[in-house]
């Protein structure tokens, strides 16, 4: 009697667990396609997931983020379980990321095979543990112990879930029979071409089975070429050596849910070979390609952020030395008497020319970025200082400007090799001088990502060309606005001190911000070409100084010194060339110093899976804001102690040299430049901190872990 009572209680408990379970924002249960188990005959069972509105779980490949749903069966001896048969997934955009998964109600079927030795009249008890990750604005891991009780019979009838199983079966992709299917890869570009047996698809989406092969959020343009359908994909960089087959699911024209309109889904496995793949921009051939990248900010907000960011750029130490040149010009303009001043170009023209130079330069940089992006290149804001020869050229230019301010020589047309036309225009009283000052200011300002700029630029680089250019133009207008206002309202110049000997002294003092900028650029170059390259650069500076000094003597009547200046200038150019081509970057970068480790996505995911939070510093040697944050905040004792107390893994993503993987990571967070600070918690969440850090902001974020 006691045995029967225990068995009855166990059966009641089992039946209770077999009911649907509510876990946070989903309802889950095990369901069967038949109302009984037939000994030895396969039985279709499924995990049923009913999501709350706007919540989703993930496919076998979750895309940019997420975890696939898993089933762990707890079966009696003699039973066997097949794999989950995944319906075709949906594309689920989350900010700049693209995930693959499901919303609404879902069945994940699995075929179970019971032993033939089962006895009709008994009960079959089926149990499994389900684990999933459900996401909306936040992600929450979920799990449940699920059970299903069915009678054992000689014959079975369809259950109440049979129709749902039939609908799900229609959504499960079957192996495709694509005629003349070929897949080629060149760089990070992939072309899949095949001949359709029926009407060519109007839209096509590819979902790779394996993570880390295809960029989930990249557009997938579809083209009709030579009687074939050609789908263009973007490979994840670096391309893995074992990526030799294109395996995944193709979803055409809305998928099987739109079968009445020709939609279908199929699995493919096509060999991937090296070949020629043209650059194809996204076009209205596919819905995925035409949909604008989602963003957390609007166009007007991006314009406002860019305008304010441009204003703040004027306060950055990399910009002030250039603007100080025009400040000197304004003071010299004030020295002229009324008659002479009338002969000068109006101040408003200088302001307009400076503004045109700034805005036009920003538009040209934006155009270069957009053109390279269309060609498949992974570049970001400040990319010009990822090129050593550009850094070296800017360093020499600033060094020459500094020597000129000290009076070592004078810029003059036709003066010889040491006469830099670009630098001469910077100090001339002509409108062109103001224009070229604006150009140079943009070149050195671009590496500085001012507050509010990051999100605005990230938004711009995911939009159409017209929208992107408008944001960059607003950025340029913001940077030029203070100087423009100063020239439009000359009364403000009256507040400047009266001319005198102090102006010459001030001119000489202004040489030292130039030299300070040279120190910064030399440090940047050292990160790119190493100590040996830095030594060559210092030699080039010695030769440049000799050339400037000799040229100054020649200007003062010592004509024979012209040859010394010419030879020294040629030597300086040759040495700079050797610096930027022969130097090797240092083996141990700043990313690996102290408690910081070099960043890698795999390490981040491994740490989070182990329950350890991660702080990632996306930085670059040429980013002044990054260096200020690092020295003033990230190395502060209170911050370091908080990192240690919370067990935070510190990682540094060094973008000093071009790194497509870091560029892609920046884009995932809606950014196109550094600095970027991301605090990953152990629950799957990520907090993006502002570009300008304070110890309070960092400690507050750590306190929420």
* CA dist 194 → 225, 264, 630 (Å): 10, 15, 52
Mean of pLDDT values over 240-258 = 89
What is the spatial distance between Cα 684 and Cα 135, in angstroms, rounded to a whole number?
A: 10
Strands 179-186 and 264-274, by their bridges, are parallel
Residue of higher predicted confidence among 495 and 275:
275
Higher pLDDT, 155 or 498: 155
CA distance 380 to 580: 21
Give the residue with greater pLDDT, 192 vs 420: 192
87-114 per-residue burial string, b: 16 or more CB within 10 A, e: under 16:
bbbbbbbbbbbbbbbbbeebbbbbbbeb
Contact 479, 442 (CB under 8 A): yes
CB 208 within 8 A of CB 247: yes
Please report the pLDDT score of residue 425 as a whole number: 46
Pairing of strands 204-208, 189-195: unpaired
pLDDT given at position 113 = 95
More confident residue, 41 or 311: 41
- E strand or H helix at 400: helix 388-405
The token duo for 107 is 């069945």
pLDDT tens by residue, 295-342: 445 667 767 777 777 776 666 555 555 555 555 555 555 554 444 444
Mean pLDDT of 175-192: 87
pLDDT band at 499 (very low <50, low <70, confident <90, very high): low
Q: Is 417 left (phi over 0), alpha (psi -120 to 50) or beta?
A: alpha
pLDDT at 547 over 50: yes
The full DSSP string for 449-511 is --TTHHHHHHHHTTS-HHHHHHHHHHHHHHHHHHHHHHHH-GGGGGGSPPPSHHHHHHHHHTH
Tokens of 424: 């001469």
Which range has the worst mean pLDDT, 19-23, 172-176, 362-366, 584-588? 584-588
Q: What is the pLDDT of residue 393?
A: 73
Give the model's pLDDT for residue 146: 94
Q: Is there a contact between 44 and 164 (Cβ–Cβ < 8 Å)?
A: no
30, pLDDT greater than 90? yes
For residue range 508-541, list pLDDT tens digits in order. 776 777 777 777 777 777 766 766 677 777 887 8
What tens digit of pLDDT does each residue of 115-160 get? 999 989 999 999 999 999 888 766 678 899 999 999 999 999 999 9
**Treating both helix axes as pointing N-terminal to C-terminal, what angle do 561-582 and 511-555 enclose, rounded to 10 degrees?**
140
Region of 195 please: left (phi>0), alpha (psi -120 to 50) or beta: beta
CA dihedral 495→501→503→506, nearest 10 degrees, is -120
Highest mean pLDDT of the ranges 86-90, 625-629, 636-640 = 86-90
Distance (Å, rounded) from C-alpha 368 to C-alpha 468?
12
**C-alpha distances in Å from residue 446, one per residue of 449, 486, 575:** 7, 23, 27
What's the pLDDT at 69?
Answer: 94
Beta-carbon contacts of 379 under 8 Å, excluding residues fewer than 6 positions away, are 369, 372, 373, 658, 663
Residue 251 has pLDDT above 60, yes or no: yes
Residue 255 clears pLDDT 60, i.e. is over it: yes
Average pLDDT of the residues in 401-426: 53
Q: What is the DSSP letter of 172?
A: S
Q: Does 101 score more than 50 pLDDT?
A: yes
- Helix, strand, coil shares of the chain, percent, nearest 5, are 45, 25, 35
Q: What is the pLDDT of residue 260?
A: 77
The pLDDT of residue 263 is 87
Q: pLDDT tens-digit profile of 643-668?
A: 988 899 999 998 776 677 887 788 77
Q: Quick one: pLDDT band at residue 501, thresholds 50, 70, 90?
A: low
CA distance 393 to 524: 13
Question: And the tokens for 670?
Answer: 């809606």
229, pLDDT greater than 50: yes
Q: pLDDT for 333-392, tens place per residue?
A: 555 444 444 445 677 777 788 888 888 887 887 776 666 554 444 444 444 555 676 677
The token pair at 373 is 């992006």
Q: Read out DSSP for 639-671?
A: HHHHHHHHTPEEEEEE-SS--HHHHHHHHHTT-
Residue 397 has pLDDT above 50, yes or no: yes
The answer to whether the peptide bond before residue 37 is cis (omega within 30 degrees of 0) is: no
What percentage of the chain exceeds 90 in pLDDT?
24
Strands (E) located in 95-218? 97-102, 105-113, 123-135, 139-151, 174-175, 179-186, 189-195, 204-208
pLDDT at 281: 57
Find the range with the poorest average confidence among 113-122, 209-218, 290-299, 555-564: 290-299
Radius of gyration of the chain measured on its C-alpha atoms: 33
With a cut of 70, say whether residue 621 has pLDDT above it.
no
Between residues 268 and 372, the one the model is more confident about: 268
- The mean pLDDT of 26-37, rounded to a whole number, is 95
**In angstroms, rounded to a whole number, what is the distance separating the alpha carbons of residues 613 and 608?**
6
Could you report the per-residue pLDDT of 433-489, keeping only the tens digit for each?
A: 778 777 776 765 555 544 445 455 555 555 566 777 887 788 788 878 877 887 777
pLDDT band at 91 (very low <50, low <70, confident <90, very high): very high
pLDDT at 282: 55
Residue 495 pLDDT class (50, 70, 90 cuts): low
Summary mean pLDDT of the chain: 76
- Which has more pLDDT, 698 or 395? 698
Torsion angles phi and psi, residue 237, rounded to 5: -95, 145
CB 544 within 8 A of CB 399: yes
Residue 587 binned pLDDT confidence (cut-offs 50, 70, 90): very low
> What's the confidence (pLDDT) of residue 48?
96
Per-residue pLDDT band for 82 (boundaries 50, 70, 90) equals: very high
Band of residue 678 on the pLDDT scale cut at 50, 70, 90: very high
Evaluate if residue 18 carries a pLDDT over 70.
no
């Amino acid at each position: 009697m006691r045995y029967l009572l225990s068995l009855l209680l166990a059966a009641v408990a089992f039946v209770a667990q077999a009911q649907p379970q509510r876990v946070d924002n989903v309802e889950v249960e095990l369901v069967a396609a038949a109302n009984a188990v037939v000994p030895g005959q396969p039985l279709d069972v499924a995990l049923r997931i009913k999501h709350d509105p706007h919540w989703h779980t993930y496919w076998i490949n979750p895309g940019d983020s997420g975890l696939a749903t898993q089933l762990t069966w707890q079966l009696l001896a003699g039973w066997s379980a097949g794999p989950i048969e995944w319906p075709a997934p949906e594309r689920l955009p989350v900010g700049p990321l693209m995930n693959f998964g499901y919303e609404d109600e879902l069945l994940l079927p699995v075929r179970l095979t019971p032993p033939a030795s089962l006895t009709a009249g008994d009960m079959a008890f089926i149990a499994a543990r389900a684990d999933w990750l459900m996401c909306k604005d936040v992600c929450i891991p979920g799990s449940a112990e699920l059970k299903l009780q069915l009678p054992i019979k000689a014959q079975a009838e369809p259950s109440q879930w049979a129709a749902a199983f039939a609908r799900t079966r229609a959504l499960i992709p079957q192996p495709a029979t694509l005629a003349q299917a070929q897949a080629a890869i060149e760089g990070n570009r992939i072309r899949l071409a095949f001949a359709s047996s029926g009407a060519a698809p109007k839209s096509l989406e590819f979902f790779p089975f394996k993570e880390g092969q295809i960029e989930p959020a990249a557009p997938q343009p579809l083209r009709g070429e030579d009687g074939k359908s050609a789908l263009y994909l973007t490979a994840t960089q670096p391309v893995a050596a074992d990526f030799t087959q294109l395996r995944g699911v193709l979803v055409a024209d809305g998928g099987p849910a739109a079968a009445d309109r020709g939609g279908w889904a199929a699995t493919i496995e096509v060999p991937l070979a090296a070949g020629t793949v043209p650059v194809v921009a996204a076009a209205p051939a596919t819905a995925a390609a035409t949909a604008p990248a989602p963003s957390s900010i609007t166009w007007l907000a991006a314009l406002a952020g860019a305008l304010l960011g441009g204003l703040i750029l004027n306060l950055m130490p990399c910009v002030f030395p250039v603007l100080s040149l025009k400040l000197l010009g304004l003071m010299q303009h004030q020295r002229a008497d009324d008659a002479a001043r009338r002969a000068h170009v109006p101040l408003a023209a200088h302001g307009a020319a400076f503004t045109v130079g700034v805005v036009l330069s920003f538009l040209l940089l934006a155009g270069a970025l957009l053109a390279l992006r269309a060609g498949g290149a992974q570049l970001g804001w400040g990319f010009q200082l990822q090129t050593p020869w550009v850094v070296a050229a800017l360093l020499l230019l600033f060094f020459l400007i500094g020597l000129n301010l000290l009076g070592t020589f004078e810029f003059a047309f036709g003066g010889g090799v040491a006469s830099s036309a670009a630098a001469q225009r910077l100090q001339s009283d002509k409108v062109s001088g103001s224009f070229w000052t604006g150009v140079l200011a943009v070149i050195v300002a671009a590496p500085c990502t001012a507050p509010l700029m990051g999100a605005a630029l990230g938004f711009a680089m995911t939009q159409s060309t017209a929208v992107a250019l408008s944001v960059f133009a607003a950025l340029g207008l913001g940077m030029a606005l203070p100087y423009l206002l100063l020239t439009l309202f000359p009364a403000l110049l009256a507040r400047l001190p009266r001319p005198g000997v102090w102006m010459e002294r001030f001119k000489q003092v202004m040489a030292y911000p130039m030299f300070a900028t040279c120190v910064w650029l030399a440090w940047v170059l050292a990160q790119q070409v190493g100590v040996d390259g830095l030594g060559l650069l210092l030699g080039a500076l010695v030769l440049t100084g000799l050339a400037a000094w000799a040229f100054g003597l020649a200007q003062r009547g010592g004509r024979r010194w012209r040859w010394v200046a010419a030879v020294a200038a040629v030597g300086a150019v040759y040495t700079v060339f050797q610096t930027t081509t022969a130097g090797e970057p240092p083996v141990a970068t700043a990313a690996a110093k102290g408690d910081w480790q070099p960043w890698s996505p795999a390490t981040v995911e491994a740490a989070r899976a182990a329950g350890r939070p991660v702080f990632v510093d996306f930085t670059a040697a040429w980013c002044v804001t990054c260096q200020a944050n690092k020295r003033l905040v990230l190395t502060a004792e209170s911050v370091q102690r908080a990192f240690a107390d919370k067990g935070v893994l510190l990682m540094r993503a060094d973008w000093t040299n071009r790194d497509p993987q870091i560029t892609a990571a920046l884009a995932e967070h809606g950014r196109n430049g550094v600095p970027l600070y991301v605090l990953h918690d152990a629950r799957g969440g990520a907090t993006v901190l502002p570009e300008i850090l304070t110890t309070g902001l960092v400690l507050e974020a750590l306190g929420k872990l």
